[in-house]
Amino acid sequence: MSDGPTYAETCRGSLARQAAEAAAERRSLLEEARCGISCAFGDSRVVAKRYLLHYLRQPRLLVFSTIQPVMFVLLFRYVFGGAIDARALPSADYVSFLLPGILVQATTFGATNTAVGISEDLRTGVIDRFRSLPMSRVAVLAGRTLSDLVRNTFVVLLMTAVGYALGFRFQNGIIAAVGTLLIVIMFSYALSWIYAFVGLTAKGAETAQTASFVVTFPIVFASSVFVPVDTFPSWLQTVAEYNPITKVADAARGLALGDPLPWLQPVLWAMAWIVGIAAIFVPLALWRFRRGD
């Protein structure tokens, strides 16, 4: 008899080797199938394109995200604006005060569409289809919020143009002007994630819409968006002081108009809110999406 391995040992060795090879092959397959960063970006772009096409093809959405904010500007400027005492304002005239605020209002109202859109996709089964595809797990929400970002940028630029036609001017230089728009856009992006979470959680699109509206409407009006908060009753002033919409509107206004308005403190507050909302709602919405039903 030789000193080499027995037949049984050879078999065991070869089986073990085969098992190890199979396991390694499985790992590399899994590695290959995992959707990395660039794949996540690509998928998000595909999803964002879909939602942007929705905007372009549904007159209802297009009207609500563009014509409605413009009507708000006109309404407040010409209908309510005359009754507002310019001496009570920290700015030269009402349109200067109004415009930075109404940018925040428009993008905030627009964000409710995210909740409705996502919840509609859940109902129709489109989200199920996405979840059964080998695509990035973050791409549906990242793509949806990316499309919101594009839309919000468009809305903010459109409204600034309308503001310019009505006499609004940035008074603090180009960098501060860009900062004004950026802070509004970043805030609306963070909000998209809240509404994405609402859309994933709400039972049905109508619930999503109602829930979004009931919360959004008072928050936007109990803020410094339309008038200075010092005209509010004192309890409401307290509420408005802590309202993130007030902070963002004040930051946008401070950056747009400059002296005598403060800008640094409101901007820091606004940034804190943006980061805070994103830190909570991005993971929360992604978790809700992955968990499924």
Partner 1 sequence: MDAIHIQDLEKTYGDTVALAGIDLAIPEGIVYGLLGPNGAGKTTVVRILATLLKPDSGRAEVLGFDVLREPELVRRIIGLAGQFAAVDEILTGRENLEMVGRLYHLSAGEARRRTVDLLERFDLIAAADRAVKTYSGGMRRRLDLAASLLNRPAVLFLDEPTTGLDPRSRLGLWDIINDLVREGTTLLLTTQYLEEADRLCQRLAVIDEGAVIEEGTTDELKTRMGGSVLEMRVADGDRLADAAGIVERVARSTPQVDRELGRLTAPAERDGVSLVVRTAEAFDEAGVDVTDLGLRRPTLDDVFLNLTGRKPMQPEDEETPGDAPEPAGVGEGRS
Shortest Å distance, C-beta 206 to partner 1: 17
Closer CB to partner 1, residue 3 or residue 293?
293
Give me the torsion for CA of 206, 208, 213, 219, rounded to 10°.
170
Nearer to partner 1, 33 or 37 (CB): 33
> What is the total count of residues that contact partner 1 (CB under 8 A)?
31
For residue 170, what is the DSSP state?
-
- Cβ atoms within 10 Å, residue 258: 15
Any contact of residue 132 with partner 1 (CB under 8 A)?
Answer: yes
Contact assessment for residue 147 and residue 51, using Cβ atoms and an 8 Å cutoff: yes
Q: Taking the CA of residue 275 as centre, how many other CA atoms within 13 Å lie in the half-sphere pointing to its CB?
A: 6
Task: Tell me whether residue 121 or residue 250 sits nearer to partner 1 (CB atom).
Answer: 121
Q: Please count the CA atoms within 13 angstroms of the CA of 29 that sit on its side-chain side.
A: 6
Q: Is 203 in the site for partner 1 (CB under 8 A)?
A: no
Residues 1 to 30 in contact with partner 1, rule: CB under 8 A? 26, 29-30
CB 73 within 8 A of CB 162: yes
Provide the minimum distance between the beta carbon of 17 and partner 1 in the complex, in angstroms, as a whole number. 19
Closer of 73 and 135 to partner 1 (Cβ): 135
Classify the phi-psi angles of 93: left when phi > 0, otherwise alpha if psi is within -120 to 50, otherwise beta: beta
User: Binding to partner 1 by residue 57, rule CB under 8 A?
Assistant: yes
Q: By CB under 8 A, is residue 40 in contact with partner 1?
A: no
Residue from 36, 59, 82, 134 in contact with partner 1 (CB under 8 A): 134
Indicate the burial class of 156 (C-beta count within 10 angstroms; 0-12, 13-18, 19 or more): buried
Answer for which of 16, 19, 53, 178 binds partner 1 (CB under 8 A) is 53
Binding site for partner 1 (CB under 8 A): 26, 29-30, 33-35, 39, 42-43, 46-47, 49-50, 53-54, 57-58, 124-126, 128-135, 139, 292-293
